[in-house]
Copies of this chain bind each other. A is one copy, B any other.
Amino acid sequence: MVGIVDVAELAGVSVGTVSNVINGRTDRMAPATQRRVQQAIVELGYQPNLAARFLKTGVTPLIGILVPSIAYPSWSWLIREIETYAAKKYGYRVLIGNTYRDRNKELEFLKSLVSHGIRSVIIVSSTLSQRIIHDGISDQLIAVSYDRRISKDKIHKIDYVSLDHIETMHIAVGHLVENGHQRIALVTVSGKSSSRMAKIKGFLEASASAALSGSSEIIVANAMDAYGDDEMPQLGRQVAEQLVAREDRPTGIVALNDMLAIGLIVGFQRCGLKVPDDVSVIGIDDLLLSAFVSPALTSLRPPVTEMAQTLVDLIIRRLRDPKIEPQERVFIPSLARRESVAKVS
């Protein structure tokens, strides 16, 4: 490893001087000295040793990301955007931990962040209560939570970013009603997370105020896993197959998320129903596929890139000045249709 002393030696200056140019304290430095140092740096291919720097400064350009599973498309896309933006804008890299919504894995991951000297973490849809996060850990960690409100109290505050699930449901239901649907349903799954609860609440609100002449209902698919993240498509398909048999089945369906929407669409199609002619499905959290699987359909797409940037900006901001008040940022998805972008030869 080539260190700062090697650079100093080659440039014929002291290590202090080298350190100064590396860290931009170059205001009242002789230009000649500066140039010689720069030259030595490139000549030797000097790379700073971040661990040593951390040991001295207590800062390392790394952000932790705690997430149930990056194999789940909504999250993997969000995290990709986070990583890309953090690297480009701030030179930060990310350390990812898949925790499968397992409390022990979550706590272990947070501990290991501290051990690595990391002082910030983006928490995606975790089960952790504020108290747990706080217990012996988060006094060392600046956290921002995505998609889960962590109740505020005086002890500890964190930044908070999410979709406005209530408004989302109003948009979704409104769109179905506008298109003439009178029997509508929300399809969800059994595990309860705060975002799911909010979606249900929003759906009930919206369908109440829509004054449907038909019915509105909530259909809950029973997941085997606690939250069913990996089972979404299968669950959707099974719900579709059961619905097909019903005379009075809803004609407009809002799916809890994208994967569930795909399952529903495919399930209906396999039973011979046309989507969206016979039944409409709106996927929430459209991130990758649902608008594509049924391109004639409108779907609700969250501003993933913008949210990712907000998450990173909030974290960095508070890292630089921990006294800043934590914020809460809420985003609203937009009705969108994916364009076709390819030609075939």
Which residues of A pack against B, CB within 8 Å?
1, 45, 47-52, 54-55, 60, 62, 69-71, 73, 76-77, 79-80, 83-84, 87, 93-98, 111-112, 114-117, 136, 140, 190, 219-224, 228, 231, 233-235, 237-239, 242, 262-263, 266, 269, 288-289, 292-295, 338, 340-345
Give A96's nearest chain B residue, CB to CB.
B96
Residue in B235, B237, B344 whose beta carbon sits within 8 Å of that of A235 in the complex? B344
Query: Known contacts A70-B70, A71-B77, A83-B96; is A114 also within 8 Å of B55 by CB?
Result: no
Asked if A233 and B51 sit within 8 Å, CB to CB, the answer is no
Asked if A293 and B60 sit within 8 Å, CB to CB, the answer is no
Q: Chain A's interface: helix, strand, loop or mixed, by majority?
A: mixed
The residues of B that contact A242 with a CB separation of less than 8 Å are 344
8 of the cross-chain contacts (CB-CB < 8 Å) are: A45-B136, A76-B76, A94-B95, A221-B343, A237-B340, A238-B340, A238-B342, A293-B293
Q: How far is the CA of A52 from the CA of B60 in the complex (A)?
A: 12
Asked if B84 and A80 sit within 8 Å, CB to CB, the answer is no
Query: Known contacts A70-B76, A342-B231; is A116 also within 8 Å of B83 by CB?
Result: no
Query: Copy number of this protein in the oligomer?
Result: 2
Q: Shortest CB–CB separation between residue A203 and chain B, in angstroms?
A: 17
Q: Shortest CB–CB separation between residue A92 and chain B, in angstroms?
A: 10
Q: How far is the CA of A84 from the CA of B239 in the complex (A)?
A: 31
Asked if B80 and A87 sit within 8 Å, CB to CB, the answer is no
Asked if B83 and A98 sit within 8 Å, CB to CB, the answer is yes
Most buried by B among A1, A71, A117, A263: A71
Query: Known contacts A54-B51, A55-B51, A83-B98; is A222 also within 8 Å of B292 by CB?
Result: no
